[in-house]
Structure 1
Amino acid sequence: MGRYVTIKRYSELSGYSEEAIRQKIKKGIWRLSKHVHRAPDGRLLINVEEVEKWIVSCPEV
């Protein structure tokens, strides 16, 4: 797996629905230029390394 993947691919890998991913981006939970990058063709790509850091930084339930 590469450092950057499409929303669809990240959904397949993580179990988050595509809509849940889009909502995290829309609400600013995953920030542009950190967790998400816009490719030159306009497509949004998920930075897997940064999202993994976000996951482990959350307090355990």
Structure 2
Amino acid sequence: MNWVTIKKFSHICGYSEDAIRAKIKKGQWVIDQHFTRAPDGRILISIKGVDKWIVS
């Protein structure tokens, strides 16, 4: 599974939920690369996308 909720990703990576939301708001994470919005509007984080961001 690649896409997870902000809450789940927070537990996996150690970033707080607020820090994740801040990265999205500041534009550090790009939509459809690091995160996306599900049809119901929920934000989902790409584990693979953020992993690439970390090592770049």
- TM-score normalised by L of structure 1: 0.89
The alpha carbon displacement at 1:55 in A equals 0.3
Give the length in aligned residue pairs: 56
Q: Provide the alpha-carbon RMSD of the alignment.
A: 0.5
Question: Are residues 1:18 and 2:34 paired?
Answer: no
Q: Which runs of 4+ in 1 moved over 6 A?
A: none
Larger CA Rg, structure 1 vs 2: 1
| Identity, % of aligned positions | 59
Stretches of structure 2 that go unaligned for 5 or more consecutive residues are none
- TM-score normalised by L of structure 2: 0.97
Stretches of structure 1 that go unaligned for 5 or more consecutive residues are none
Query: How many angstroms apart in 2 are the aligned matches of 1:42 and 1:22?
Result: 14
The alpha carbon displacement at 1:32 in A equals 1.0
The alpha carbon displacement at 1:35 in A equals 0.5
